[in-house]
Amino acid sequence: MICACIGAAFAAVAAAAPSASLGEDVDAFGRMPTLRHVSVSPSGNRVAALYRDGGAEEYSFIVFEYGDQFQMRYAGKQNEQFRVSEPHWMRDDRIVFSVRFGAMRHRTDTVETRLMSLDVETGEIIPLFDAEQRQGVAETRGSIAAPVQIQDRIVSLTRQDPDSLLVQYWNGDVYGKINHVYEVDVDRTKRHKRVHKGRDDIYDWKADELGEIRSGWGLEGGKEPRLRMLDSRGKWQDRSRRVAEDAPTFSVLGFPRAPGKAFVASAHETETAALYLYDVDSDRFEEQLFHSPVSDVYGVYQQRGTGEALGVIYAEDESLIHWFGQNFVRDAIDVMERTFPGRAVTLTDLNAEQTHAVFLVDGTNEAGSYYIFDIANRQVTALPTQYPTLEGRAMGAVVRVDYEARDGLSIPAYLTLPPGLSLTDAKDLPFVVMPHGGPTARSFAQFDWRTQFLASRGYGVLQMNFRGSSGYGEAFRKAGDRQWGQAMQDDITDGAEWLVAQGYADGDRLAIMGGSYGGYASLMGVVKTPDLYQCSVAYGAVTDLHALLRDTQRYRGGEYMTRHIGTLWSDRAMHRENSPMLRADAIKVPVLLVHGEDDRVVDVNQSRGMASALKRSGTPHRYVELPAGSHYVDVGDNRMVFLREVGSFLSECLGGPEERADSGAAADPRG
């Protein structure tokens, strides 16, 4: 085992920074996880990752060699503005990665990405797009070059050529915003060779395991879905009827080696989306390969080079795999599961030569660690644990429950209980109801730093997958269409009332808390049911639906992406009725608002406006703006600031451990 020496060497990478006096719970759960984006080089001798120790202000992008001796090959720190993501090994001496940052184009906030290449031997980093490549008709006709906005939409990096990859981007077409596919050299900054001509109605191209472009999805006029697929003769066929708004679920997951075939998820004959082998030539489903009655399929494990389907990913309370026979990936997972019995084993990376894999091993009440697995030698190497200060600490049990909504729909949910309690022991607890974000997403039974923090403070937590959540089939998801603040909100209310009826929760000590859509639901909860909750916590929350639609529809495809919320003008009365900012006078309990200053998903003005509305209505509230904060509470020490504010607020609202400290965050004077 070399975990200790790796951990000691890692600790020297990031400059130490003194920790504020935050209290044991905040300090333990508020630290960012130690590692992210762990991947192994083709030879298996080198590992790349984002690493952050307990005292560092930000992650460092590191590359190290491991084995009998440890050697750091590269270490560079990101900052609060420029965020490194998705490093990909091309060769043992070359890594391609993306840098993300916020910017503005045409007076509109944007997220920009730059595709970079690292020479591991020398530490030199070069951009993979040259200065002549620019995006936008207006910019190309002007005197100032505007670089391609999104440079990291990689279509294929599993090609046999380790010196290049395929990237799709728009490069200033005069007659439209067309995504072509280009071959990008990973060793130098140069002009790119176009290898696939795009179309103005196709936004995203998919390639097979050898890098051949086989399908494309997009929108006609920004509204009507389009799907084009390559048949066995090399001709493109229009299969848009398969993805029409009123058609059953149909999505392309991958391609076998055989031309004119595809692996697709479809719900044309089942309630949940099943996996099929689909024939493009005849527009026919050849064979149903797998179906779960309780879960949509999420993806397919395929053999690199051949495209053979090894297994299919689906979910119950956690992610699961159905295997199509024995194979080396299944063998590796079996070894890891025997090594770590009773814990969740998740494959997160497999190197290009398929000799080494990275696994995350965790549990519902265990933060876990990453492990490198040498497949041939059956050797497991541990990396530093994700939350060192949680080692040996008792966590809350996570229990699957189901309750019935008022119209009879069964709602799956998870209870997280204070450490040491079982469901039979849970009586009259203070509870936090926590709807998830999205809303087209879902909660799983897994380690969650927010719920375990709350459990450590003595609160129970209820997370429900209300109608509109993904993964439970088409009917369940569509039941949430145009139901923001309505049927989806009723499901959340019914869950809170169920807690009290079951005796788990004290009806006089209920709070509601969430982020993004969950933050919206937390505010609507105290608008629609002012006597149910004692307080509300909303972070990164949507508060004005009309403003959300107006702002989102400024972006390409925005009207289509917000269709489940409603239309901008014909539904404006519904949106006024279901916008917390416009209903602030109905809120009678204290509210904590938290928002990242540089949130590029939900504009910070949504919370600033809500704070102003609460002030006008005389509602007790506090508004905290996280400096340089993103939508994901992952910049600097923002997570600690957030938990400290939540812990203090809930202590006042529901009772609990007494602890207050100056957060150092920017509290809006309007609050």
pLDDT tens, position by position, 157-178: 866 789 999 999 987 654 457 9
Residue 557, pLDDT score: 83
The two tokens of residue 59 are 């992650």
Chain mean position to CA 298: 14
Q: Work out the average pLDDT over 524-535.
A: 97
Q: Work out the average pLDDT over 551-565.
A: 84
Query: Does residue 614 carry a pLDDT above 80?
Result: yes
Residue 138, pLDDT score: 42
Domain presence at residue 414 = yes
Q: Work out the average pLDDT over 133-153.
A: 63
In order of 288, 310, 665, the CA distances from 249 in angstroms are 15, 23, 44
Domain presence at residue 562 = no
Who's near 337: CB < 8 A, 6+ residues apart?
345
Q: Residue 423 maps to which CATH number?
A: 3.40.50.1820
In order of 468, 474, 602, the CA distances from 246 in angstroms are 16, 11, 29
Residue 142, pLDDT score: 43
Task: For the chain, give the percent of residues with pLDDT over 90.
Answer: 72
d(Cα 189, Cα 359) in Å, to the nearest integer? 34
The two tokens of residue 513 are 């808390």
Domain presence at residue 463 = yes
Q: What is the pLDDT of residues 116-130, one digit of tens each?
A: 999 999 999 999 998
Omega of the bond leading into 669 within 30 degrees of 0 (cis)? no
Residue 351 near residue 344, CB atoms below 8 Å:
no
Classify the C-alpha dihedral 471-474-476-477 as positive or negative. Answer: positive
Residue 74 near residue 63, CB atoms below 8 Å:
yes
d(Cα 519, Cα 434) in Å, to the nearest integer? 9
Smallest CA-to-CA distance from 401 within 390, 417, 385, 419 is with 417
Strand order of the β-sheet with 236-238 is 204-207, 213-220, 224-230, 236-238
Q: What is the pLDDT of residues 10-22, one digit of tens each?
A: 443 333 323 222 3
Q: Work out the average pLDDT over 304-319.
A: 92
The two tokens of residue 411 are 């709602």
Q: What is the pLDDT of residues 484-527, one digit of tens each?
A: 999 999 999 999 999 999 999 999 999 999 999 999 999 999 99
- To the nearest 10 degrees (0 to 180), the angle between helices 449-456 and 638-654 is 40
Who's near 111: CB < 8 A, 6+ residues apart?
100, 101, 102, 103, 150, 600
Pairing state between β 319-323 and 204-207: unpaired
Residue 424, pLDDT score: 92
CB atoms within 10 A of CB 618: 9
Who's near 584: CB < 8 A, 6+ residues apart?
610, 613, 614, 616, 617, 619
Residue 8, pLDDT score: 41
Residue 154 near residue 164, CB atoms below 8 Å:
no
Q: What is the pLDDT of residues 194-238, one digit of tens each?
A: 999 999 999 999 999 889 999 999 999 888 999 999 999 999 999
Domain presence at residue 648 = yes
Domain presence at residue 519 = yes
Query: Does residue 481 carry a pLDDT above 70?
Result: yes
* Number of structural domains in the chain: 1
d(Cα 480, Cα 464) in Å, to the nearest integer? 14
Domain presence at residue 501 = yes
Residue 622 is part of which domain span? 398-544+579-667
Q: Work out the average pLDDT over 2-14.
A: 39
Res. 5 pLDDT band, cuts 50 70 90: very low
Q: What is the pLDDT of residues 427-480, one digit of tens each?
A: 999 999 999 999 989 998 899 999 999 999 999 999 999 999 999 999 999 999
Residue 368 near residue 447, CB atoms below 8 Å:
yes
How many CA within 13 A on the CB side of residue 307? 19
SS3 state at 449: helix
Query: Does residue 658 carry a pLDDT above 70?
Result: no
- Pinpoint the alpha helices (H) of 88-219: 137-141
For the entire predicted model, the pTM comes to 0.89
Q: Identify the residue whose tokens are 């043992």.
A: 92
Classify the C-alpha dihedral 8-12-18-22 as positive or negative. Answer: negative
Residue type, 130: D
Q: Average per-residue pLDDT in the chain?
A: 89
Residues in the chain: 671
Domain presence at residue 623 = yes
Res. 68 pLDDT band, cuts 50 70 90: low
Res. 335 pLDDT band, cuts 50 70 90: very high
Domain presence at residue 19 = no
